[in-house]
Amino acid sequence: MKTFVEWCEDFLLRKVYQIQKQTWFAIIMIFSLVTTVMLSLPVNAQITPSSSLTSELRGVWLTNIDSDVLFESDRLKKSLQRLDELNFNTVYPAVWNWGYTLYPSKVAAKVIGKSLDPTPGLQGRDMLKEIVDQGHKRGLTVIPWFEFGFMAPADSLLAKNRPQWLTNRSDGTRIVKEGTHNRVWLNPFRPDVQQFIQDLIIEIVSNYDIDGIQFDDHFGLPSELGYDAYTVALYKREHGGKAPAKNPKDTEWVRWRASKITNFMQRVFKAIKAVKKDCLVSVAPNPQRFSYDYFLADWQKWERMGLIEELVLQIYRDDLNVFVKELEYPEVKAAKQHIPVSVGILAGLKNRSVPMQQLKTQVQKVRDRNFAGVSFFFYETLWNLSQETPSQRQNGFEQIFSQPAKYPNIITGWKP
C-alpha cells in the first residue's frame, strides 16, 4: 500500500509539471505572437523616413494675423533660413489682408487710397520682394496667398470708400462675424469688383518672380449673402423675372451663384496664364461640401475644368477618424489623379496649442495615402505659439522632414 501511494504521488506530480510546462509554453508563444504583431503595426508618432521621398510639398502659411514674422526684414530673413534648415521647401505669404495689400500696390492706391497696409513694420520696404529674393536664394518655392479674397473688415477704407461694392443678406444686413471681427464682402458678381480683384492678382504676377499664386474659400462668398440689388436684378434677368429664393440654401440659387464664381475663376486663370504661363494656380479650400455649401466655392468643378494646378486641402481636425475620412472622399481621390494634392494641417492657433505628436500622426496618415505633401497653418504656431518649447517643436519637425525633398511638379501629361 505504501509503495502504491508513493507511486500515485509521483504520477500526479509529473502530470502537474507537464500541465504547468505546457501552460507556460502556451503563454510564451502567445506573448511572442502578440509582440511580433504589435511591432509590425505603425505607431501614431512613428514617421516614415523622409529619405525615401524625393519630392514632397513641405509648406507653411505666413500671415500678418497673430504673427509678426512679416513685419521686420531681419526677422523674416532668419525665419526663412530656419525653415530651409528644417527642410521646408514652400512658403505661402499673405499679400492681401485686412482690406490692404502687404506689398506696394498702384492698384490699391487708386481704389483704396493707400498703396500699402499702414502697419509700421511694412513701411519703407517691399515684404513680398524680400520673400521672393531670400526664399529663392534658399531654394524655397514662393506662392503668394490672396488670403482675404472678396472679404474685408467692416471698418476698412475699402468698405467705406466703395459701399456700392458690398453685398448683403435678404434682410439687408451685411456684417459677417469671423471670430470677434466684423467682416463685409465685396460682391463677386459685379464687373467693377471683379476687375479690381483681377488687377491686384495680375499686378503681383507681373511684377514679382513668384512661382504661383494661391486662393482659398474667400475667393467665394458666404452663401447667406448675394441679396444686394445688383445681384437680384441679374438673377431675375436670367430667370424670366423670378427673384432668388428667400432660403439662401435653395439649390438653384446656390448653383447659380457658384457658377458665376466659377466663371470668374476661369477668367482669372486665363489672365494669369496670359502674363506668366508657368505661374501655378494654387487653391487651398476646405473639403468640397463645406466650400460649396457655405462659400459657393465649387473647387471640385474648378479642378475638373483644369483651373487648379495645386490643391492644398485644409483639414483642420483634432479627431483622427474625421481627419482620415476627409482624406478619402471621392473628389479628393479624383483630383490626385490629375494634380499634386496636399493637405493643410493646423499647427495651432493663438489660443489653441496642437501637440507635436498630433502633427506627426497626421503627417503619417497623409503619407500613407500618397498625397503630394503637407502645409502647416501657420508659421507662428510651428514653434513660437505652443505649450511645447521651441526646441521640442523644432526637434519634431527635424524628425518629420529628416531629409530634403523637392517641391512636387505638376503630374506629367496634365493640361489646362
pLDDT, tens digit (0-9, with 9 covering 90-100), for 82-94? 999 999 999 999 9
Backbone φ and ψ for 284, nearest 5 degrees, come out as -125, 80
Residues 6+ apart with CB under 8 A from 141: 59, 89, 90, 91, 135, 211, 212, 407
Band of pLDDT at residue 411, cut at 50, 70 and 90? confident
pLDDT at 30 over 70: no
The backbone torsions φ and ψ at residue 369, rounded to the nearest 5 degrees and listed phi first, read -105, 15
- Give the chain's mean pLDDT: 91
CA–CA dist 312, 245 (Å, integer)? 33
> What does pTM read for this prediction?
0.88
Query: At 46, is the pLDDT very low, low, confident or very high (cuts 50, 70, 90)?
Result: low
Residue 339 has pLDDT above 70, yes or no: yes
* Phi, psi angle pair for 62, to nearest 5°: -110, 120
> Does the pLDDT of residue 323 top 90, yes or no?
yes
Q: Measured between alpha carbons, how far is 257 from 240 in angstroms, rounded to an integer?
A: 16
Q: What phi, psi does 272 have (nearest 5°)?
A: -60, -45
Residue 43 has pLDDT above 60, yes or no: no
3-state SS, 7-38, equals: HHHHHHHHHHHHHHHHHHHHHHHHHHHHHHHH
d(CA 335, CA 337): 5
The two beta strands, 181-185 and 151-153, are antiparallel
Spell out a b/e string for 174-184, using b for 16 or more CB atoms within 10 Å of the CB, else e: bebeeeeeebb
For residue range 257-307, list pLDDT tens digits in order: 999 999 999 999 999 999 999 999 999 999 999 999 999 999 999 999 999
Lowest mean pLDDT among 50-54, 118-122, 284-288: 50-54
Cell triple for 394 = 523644432
Q: Which tops the pLDDT comparison, 409 or 234?
A: 234
Interval 158-215: pLDDT, tens:
999 999 999 999 999 999 999 999 999 999 999 999 999 999 999 999 999 999 999 9
- Contact status, residue 88 vs residue 60, Cβ threshold 8 Å: yes
Tell me which DSSP letter residue 55 carries: B
List beta partners, residue 58: 374
DSSP structure string for 353-384: E--HHHHHHHHHHHHHTT-SEEEEE-THHHHT
> In this prediction, what percent of the chain has a pLDDT beyond 90?
85
Say if CB 130 and CB 77 are below 8 A apart.
yes
Spatial separation of the C-alpha atoms in residues 301 and 314, rounded to whole Å: 17
pLDDT at 12: 42
- Give me 16's grid cell: 502537474
Say which residue the cell 441679374 belongs to.
234
Give the model's pLDDT for residue 415.
Answer: 67
Q: Which three cell numbers stand for residue 237?
A: 434677368
At 229, give phi and psi (nearest 5°). Answer: -60, -40
How large is the average pLDDT for residues 358-383? 98
**Does residue 51 have a pLDDT over 60?**
yes
Distances (CA, A) of 198 to 267, 276, 287, 336: 9, 14, 25, 28
The single-letter code of the amino acid at 206 is: S
What number of residues does the chain have? Answer: 416
- For residue 414, pLDDT beyond 80: no
